[in-house]
Amino acid sequence: MNPIIRRITENRLSDFKGLSIEGEIPVSEEMVNDVLQLFLRQKKAPKKSKKTEQSASSSSSGNDSPDIGQIFESLDENEVKIEFKEKKAVLKVTARKY
């Protein structure tokens, strides 16, 4: 993982005290359906053993993907609400780090 991304996640966003994000993300009906199908396919797929997952993750070099779950857990306040307007879902996002 990239050293900067690693620092951000390991320090639990302490470098971002005072962070405040509020916004709306419009999501089309098609995108919602695609995400649902992806979720359903993952549920049907056979689960890998932890040993297989660990060896796969350690063998993939250059993986700069941060653990989004860990980042969300580091926030003091996080909320996502869904509203529907004219065949679109609107995600209302609030994130804060005190």
| Domain boundaries defined on the chain | 18-43+78-98
Q: Rounded distance, CA 36 to CA 55, Å?
A: 28
Q: Residue 79's closest CA among 69, 97, 67, 93?
A: 93
pLDDT score for 61: 47
Q: pTM score, two decimals?
A: 0.56
Instruction: Extract the residue ranges of the chain whose pLDDT is less than 70.
Output: 46-64
For residue 67, the model assigns a pLDDT of: 76
Both tokens of 2, joined, read 């990239």
pLDDT of residue 64: 62
